[in-house]
A and B are shown apart, each in its own frame.
Chain A
């Protein structure tokens, strides 16, 4: 079949900044790219529940406990929106989850780091959610309709996540010397992995060119990373926390901070499975999936039985 005509319509839509919808014709590679990106994003939300979930039962006040529970629940909800968006591209949630559990699909490398103290909950909200927002705000204008709409819903909730994290850090930074040290230690550990969240430098990012061409992404990894650094530095200064980068200096000319690049060898190592918690995260997702199997089967069996009863009656 000659697809030139369809391709022209597709390109024209992109050129007019119109959204591509599930029923529209789209190039195979565009569909594949989206399935990969949206499902990775969904998996990240769901795996991301684990490091923070780790502290729910130990949250130090009733208020903190409720906020963290609600936050982790939001992330699960984000996972749901995103799986639903991915399903509009012709793949089922079961298949996607299978890809995660068999290690075929990836998720954000950040969640392969451990949450060691309560301050890590603050650092994740402030830095990790802060970084995620940079990316997600951009994705509200991504070219695929269902993905863009999922992002609009998600962004509404994300700013609350970032604020609650910063609030934890503020309380700790202004608290006892022990709390302060804990907060600083958390920033020291989460800073570099957070910078890695934006992906490799533009020059070495294999999927970026297509993503920009198809208007899936509208800004590059390096642009987003720079914006994140510019936004976050003053926030840290305000509460007296420092960042573990001696190369941080204000650059008047570019009206932004210069900063040292993270250790990309570590990044590669973590995404290829060798981060401190890769095995634990996958093992936990597999365990939950396996231990939930009898529940899902029972629900199906009951529904099938009831259909039969109704047919007989």
Chain B
């Protein structure tokens, strides 16, 4: 694998996680628990699509085959998407949505702040912008998880159920492979081990303030890096890809 190829894979991986979570959050538009929260989720979704698009454009440039960000978004098959499994999980309810968001926001918060020092100026720029946005996202998801976990009996139970379901997808965020090894050497990417330590330091106290119990002996799921997704993913893509695939010659 050349450095160029590693960079391409790295950018797609980051972009896909943003893209797919943006798509999931967009499903809420118009049906949130109340109007202000509806707008907040749409805002986050918009930020994620913005980050995804910036990374995809750069991925196209790095690839050098003349593909566009839209082609990467709407014409790639399932197995070529390398987002983490966590973000493709269904919304279920507002509790599961906001807990999933906490996990991603906390990761993004530390990750982007490190990545904004990347030796690659384009990545550094995207990360710096995303890092600012993530500060707000994290404040939002963190405060909701605490309120819902320590709210009513019903909200507590729903949050505990969500945690039992989703915890197994959290470790994949920190997975590294030869792509990371190559790019860390070049100071393009960042080592995710220290990010994991910070992430735990952030998330564990939030969950405990929310009076939630992290499930024990959880087997951590993985596979996103190799394009091995959950069964939910095909439906998400089918919906997202419908128009460009039904009318391949059209531009919109």
Q: A49 CA to B74 CA in the complex, in Å?
A: 24
- Binary A-proximity of B53-81 (CB < 8 A = 1, otherwise 0): 10010000000000001100110000000
- Binary A-proximity of B25-39 (CB < 8 A = 1, otherwise 0): 011011111111111
Q: Is the CB of A65 within 8 A of B49?
A: yes
Q: A238 CA to B242 CA in the complex, in Å?
A: 29
Q: Which residues of B contact A299 (CB under 8 A)?
A: 147-148, 151
Q: Is the CB of B49 within 8 A of A291?
A: no
Q: Is the CB of A58 within 8 A of B243?
A: yes
Closest CB-CB distance, B36 to chain A, in whole Å?
Answer: 7
Q: Is the CB of B150 within 8 A of A302?
A: yes
Q: From B35, B69, B244, give the contact of A80 (CB < 8 A).
A: B35
Q: From A60, A72, A118, give the contact of B74 (CB < 8 A).
A: A60
Stretch with Cβ within 8 A of A (4 or more), from B40-48, B111-119, B161-169, B192-200 = B40-48
Q: Is the CB of B35 within 8 A of A79?
A: yes
Stretch with Cβ within 8 A of B (4 or more), from A27-35, A102-110, A173-181 = A173-181
Q: Which residues of A contact B38 (CB under 8 A)?
A: 49, 76
Q: From B32, B33, B247, give the contact of A176 (CB < 8 A).
A: B247
Q: A65 CA to B48 CA in the complex, in Å?
A: 12
Closest CB-CB distance, B141 to chain A, in whole Å?
Answer: 13
Nearest A residue to B157 via CB reads A294
Interface membership of B50, Cβ < 8 A: yes
Nearest B residue to A172 via CB reads B252
Q: A172 CA to B250 CA in the complex, in Å?
A: 9
Closest CB-CB distance, A58 to chain B, in whole Å?
Answer: 5
Interface membership of A213, Cβ < 8 A: no
Closest CB-CB distance, B235 to chain A, in whole Å?
Answer: 11
Closest CB-CB distance, A283 to chain B, in whole Å?
Answer: 11
Interface membership of A62, Cβ < 8 A: yes
Q: Which residues of B contact A70 (CB under 8 A)?
A: 42, 46
Interface membership of A212, Cβ < 8 A: no
Q: Is the CB of A298 within 8 A of B243?
A: no
Q: A73 CA to B148 CA in the complex, in Å?
A: 24
Interface membership of A311, Cβ < 8 A: no
Interface membership of B226, Cβ < 8 A: no
Q: Which residues of B contact A53 (CB under 8 A)?
A: 29-31
Q: Is the CB of B33 within 8 A of A295?
A: yes
Q: A171 CA to B250 CA in the complex, in Å?
A: 10
Interface membership of A301, Cβ < 8 A: yes
Q: From B23, B39, B247, give the contact of A179 (CB < 8 A).
A: B247
Nearest A residue to B38 via CB reads A76
Q: Is the CB of B242 within 8 A of A292?
A: no
Q: Which A residues between 75 and 89 are near B, CB-CB below 8 angstroms?
A: 76-77, 79-80, 83
Q: Is the CB of B74 within 8 A of A294?
A: no
Q: A176 CA to B154 CA in the complex, in Å?
A: 53
Q: Which A residues between 257 and 313 are near B, CB-CB below 8 angstroms?
A: 284, 287-288, 291-299, 301-303, 305
Q: From A46, A72, A294, give the contact of B155 (CB < 8 A).
A: A294
Q: Is the CB of B46 within 8 A of A69?
A: yes
Interface membership of B251, Cβ < 8 A: yes
Interface membership of A50, Cβ < 8 A: yes
Closest CB-CB distance, B123 to chain A, in whole Å?
Answer: 19
Q: Is the CB of A171 within 8 A of B252?
A: yes
Nearest A residue to B154 via CB reads A294
Interface membership of B2, Cβ < 8 A: no
Q: Which residues of A contact B73 (CB under 8 A)?
A: 62
Q: A108 CA to B249 CA in the complex, in Å?
A: 37
Q: Is the CB of B155 within 8 A of A61?
A: no
Q: Which A residues between 34 and 51 are near B, CB-CB below 8 angstroms?
A: 46, 49-50
Interface membership of A137, Cβ < 8 A: no
Q: Is the CB of B30 within 8 A of A50?
A: yes
Interface membership of A64, Cβ < 8 A: yes
Q: Which residues of B contact A65 (CB under 8 A)?
A: 26, 49
- Binary B-proximity of A53-69 (CB < 8 A = 1, otherwise 0): 10011111111111001
Interface membership of B233, Cβ < 8 A: no
Interface membership of B158, Cβ < 8 A: yes
Interface membership of B239, Cβ < 8 A: yes
Q: A171 CA to B38 CA in the complex, in Å?
A: 30
Q: A282 CA to B53 CA in the complex, in Å?
A: 35
Q: Is the CB of B155 within 8 A of A57?
A: no
Closest CB-CB distance, B37 to chain A, in whole Å?
Answer: 8
Q: Is the CB of B69 within 8 A of A62?
A: yes
User: With A60-B244, A80-B36 given, is the CB distance from A297 to B151 under 8 Å?
Assistant: yes
Q: A70 CA to B42 CA in the complex, in Å?
A: 8
Nearest B residue to A118 via CB reads B243
Q: Is the CB of B152 within 8 A of A288?
A: no
Nearest B residue to A122 via CB reads B252
Interface membership of B182, Cβ < 8 A: no
Given contacts A76-B30, A178-B247, A301-B155, 10 further A-B contacts (CB under 8 A): A58-B239, A64-B252, A66-B46, A70-B42, A284-B31, A291-B94, A295-B34, A297-B154, A301-B151, A302-B146
Please list 19 pairs of residues, one from A and one from B, whose beta carbons are closer than 8 Å in the complex, sorted by A's number.
A56-B27, A60-B244, A62-B49, A62-B73, A66-B46, A73-B42, A73-B43, A172-B252, A175-B251, A176-B250, A178-B250, A288-B32, A292-B37, A295-B155, A297-B154, A298-B147, A299-B148, A299-B151, A303-B147
